[in-house]
Amino acid sequence: MYKTPFQISLKLIVLLWAMIGIKAYSQSTDTETPVSYDTAYVLNLYDSAYLNLDSYDIALGFITKASEISKNLDYKRGIAISYFHLGSVQLNNDRQNDAIGNFKTALDLLLKLKRYNDVVTTFRKIGNSYYFLSDFKQALHYSQKGLVLSDSLNNKLESARLKSQIGSCYEDMGKYEKSLELLLEANGDYNLLNDKEGIAESLNSLGVIYSSMDQFEKANYNFNKAMWIYEDIGDDYGVSNCLTNIGYMCFYN
């Protein structure tokens, strides 16, 4: 199916959302396993994998080493995280089907461990993987499950991210009003959290939605507002993406 320039651009924004939260996921406190030199080393290895997401073999090396140590220690959360990070690397290297399998393995293990905030993040990543396969029904299914759980945990940041992801699914499905509603909610949540990166990305996505709805003045306003925030936080890629969106809007309309 042909993708419009704005749909392609929105997928780039969603890819950024996919990478958000991975490092924090590794670093969250484990209440079941005492912090030791070995467990801290495992989490540092996962952080190294995160820093090398674009280099599949290098990232895989860090994950494999961390997984082996976790199994030797019977560090169950470390084992679960190994599948999560392997899925993240695969997603970042356009191997969505492999990623989904590993995310689902991580999900099963984390549910057994009752690591519910980690479960929320994993639901989001599964939904994100299906989104990139254009399987919007499954993307919505997992993202909405994540949102219900996130809201029950009062995890406001993950709720905002999931609303953004669900809004992007609706945009690709041509359900612009639903998309707009979710993205406006996400933007409000990011503002309450003072999360500048989230604010900028939601504004950029709102610009895409308004462009799809032929509301070009609102689109331009949101693109420019997002760009100013990206400039303020030193995100050159975000600035470039906003400029590209503005260029698409001017050229095609």
Domains of the chain plus CATH, in order, are 5-252 (1.25.40.10)
Model's pTM, two decimal places? 0.84
Q: What is the pLDDT along the chain (253 residues), one digit of tens a residue?
A: 334 555 555 555 555 555 555 554 555 544 455 556 678 888 888 888 888 888 889 998 999 999 999 999 899 999 999 999 999 999 999 999 999 999 999 999 999 999 999 999 999 999 999 999 999 999 999 999 999 999 999 999 999 999 999 999 999 999 999 999 999 999 999 999 999 999 999 999 999 999 999 999 999 999 999 999 999 999 999 999 999 999 988 887 7
Alpha-carbon gap, residue 202 to 25, rounded angstroms: 22
Tokens for 85? 């990070």
For position 29, what pLDDT does the model report? 44
The pLDDT value given to residue 18:
53
What is the DSSP secondary-structure string of the chain?
A: ----HHHHHHHHHHHHHHHTTHHHHHHS--SSS---HHHHHHHHHHHHHHHTTT-HHHHHHHHHHHHHHHHHHT-HHHHHHHHHHHHHHHHHTT-HHHHHHHHHHHHHHHHHHT-HHHHHHHHHHHHHHHHHTT-HHHHHHHHHHHHHHHHHTT-HHHHHHHHHHHHHHHHHTT-HHHHHHHHHHHHHHHHHHT-HHHHHHHHHHHHHHHHHTT-HHHHHHHHHHHHHHHHHHT-HHHHHHHHHHHHHHHHH-
Q: What angle do CA 135, 140, 146 make, to 5 degrees?
A: 130
CB atoms within 10 A of CB 1: 5
143 conformational bin, left if phi > 0, alpha if psi -120 to 50, beta if neither: alpha
pLDDT, residue 25, reads: 54
